[in-house]
Amino acid sequence: MPYRAEKPRQAPPSSELRARIPGWGVDLDPKDRPAVPKEQFDPSATGAHWDFPQRQPTKWPRERSIEHKFLTPVFGTSCPPQGLSGVVRRYAYRYSEARAAHWLLLMGADRINVVEARLQALLSGRPDSRIRETGILSEFTHGGVRSRVGRDRADLSHQWIDAVGFIAPYVAVAGVAYMLMRRQSDRRRRIGANGQGMR
């Protein structure tokens, strides 16, 4: 107990652990641990044969953190900023990484980007497929029920939110369609009733 000086004896003897557990103690000596100490200056060990890397050509004005002195010599070229989301992203990079505005604007741009992509796909005649892209059919092929029922999974407390999010658009579309159909049939009935009255 920590209320006295001695450390509580919790572990079996090392000899027992060494016999029972494969590899027990092989890295007991910190000298055998590759990242001890954390910083070990050895430029010859990295494989680099340059003092500073040659610069990669830029194909568009590459957004960068204002905490950097300059554009790093090498960078990723996936998905250049485009459209309204691109405008928001570029604006976000006016703020340092220390500012919440930087990250919140980027998160906002991510959401705008999704709407842009959906519309673009729709206009191109190849709309996104919720069924294929969510992989939802694996619920049937990989034990969706079996993986949840009767199991004390903590994530079940909030997974229903995902399910609601998935179903909600379908329910909304079905609801709107039902209302339109009902309005249409009411109109027909009214016209029919008026016609009878005239006769």
Partner 1 sequence: MQAMVYRGPYRVRVEEKDIPPIEHPNDAIVRVTQAAICGSDLHLYHGLMPDTRVGMTFGHEFVGVVEQVGSSVQNLKVGDRVMVPFNISCGSCYFCTRGVYSCCHNVNPNATAVGAIYGYSHTCGGYDGGQAEFVRVPFADVGPSIIPEWMSEEDALILTDACPTGYQGAEMGGIREGDTVVVFGAGPVGLFAAKSAWFMGAGRVIVVDHLDYRLERAREFAHAEVINFMHVDDIVVYLKRATDHLGADVVIDAVGAEADGSFLHAVTSNKMKLQGGSPVALNWAIDSVRKVGTVSVVGAYGPLFSAVKFGDALNKGLTIRAAQCSVKRHWPRLFEHVRSGILKPSEIVTHRLPLEEVAEAYHIMSSKLDDCIKPILYTHH
Chain positions 46 to 75 lying near partner 1, rule: CB under 8 A, are: 46-54, 56-57, 62-65, 67-68, 71-75
Whose Cβ is closer to partner 1: residue 75's or residue 178's? 75
Interface with partner 1 (CB under 8 A), residue from 107, 168, 173, 181: 107
**Binding to partner 1 in span 73-102, by CB under 8 A:** 73-79, 81, 85, 89, 92-93, 97, 100
The Cα–Cα gap between 25 and 82 comes to: 54
- Rounded to 10°, the helix 83-92/100-123 angle is 170
DSSP state of 56: P
Residues ≥6 apart with Cβ < 8 Å to 50: none
Report if residue 35 touches partner 1, rule: CB under 8 A: yes
Q: How far is the CB of 176 from partner 1 (least distance, A)?
A: 22
Residues in CB range of 106: below 8 A, 6 or more apart: 88, 89, 92
Q: Per CB under 8 A, does 125 bind partner 1?
A: no
Place of tokens 């249409």: 184
Binding segment (CB under 8 A) for partner 1, from list 27-35, 171-179, 185-193? 27-35
Confirm or reject binding of residue 135 to partner 1 (CB under 8 A). yes
68 or 199, CB closer to partner 1?
Answer: 68
C-alpha span between 174 and 178 (Å, rounded) = 6
- Please give the residues from 163 up to 192 whose contact with partner 1 meets the rule CB under 8 A: 166
DSSP state of 68: S
SS3 31: helix
Q: How many residues bind partner 1 (CB under 8 A)?
A: 103
